[in-house]
Amino acid sequence: MDFLISLLLVGIFGGLVGFIFWYYNIKFNNKETLFGAWGGIGVGILGAAIGFFYLSPFINWLVINPLNINFVAAFFGALILLWVGIKVNPYNH
* Burial of 90 per CB tally in 10 Å (0-12, 13-18, 19+): exposed
- Taking the C-alpha atoms of residue 41 and residue 36, their distance in angstroms, rounded to an integer, is 9
Question: In this structure, are residues 25 and 86 in contact, taking their beta carbons and an 8 Å threshold?
Answer: yes
Whether the pLDDT of residue 91 is over 80: the answer is no
- Taking the C-alpha atoms of residue 84 and residue 88, their distance in angstroms, rounded to an integer, is 6
Average the pLDDT over 45-65 and give the result.
81
Whether the pLDDT of residue 83 is over 70: the answer is yes
Query: What pLDDT is stored for residue 16 in this prediction?
Result: 93
Query: What pLDDT is stored for residue 14 in this prediction?
Result: 92
Whether the pLDDT of residue 56 is over 90: the answer is no
- Taking the C-alpha atoms of residue 64 and residue 17, their distance in angstroms, rounded to an integer, is 20
- Per-residue pLDDT tens for 24-49? 888 888 877 777 889 889 989 999 99
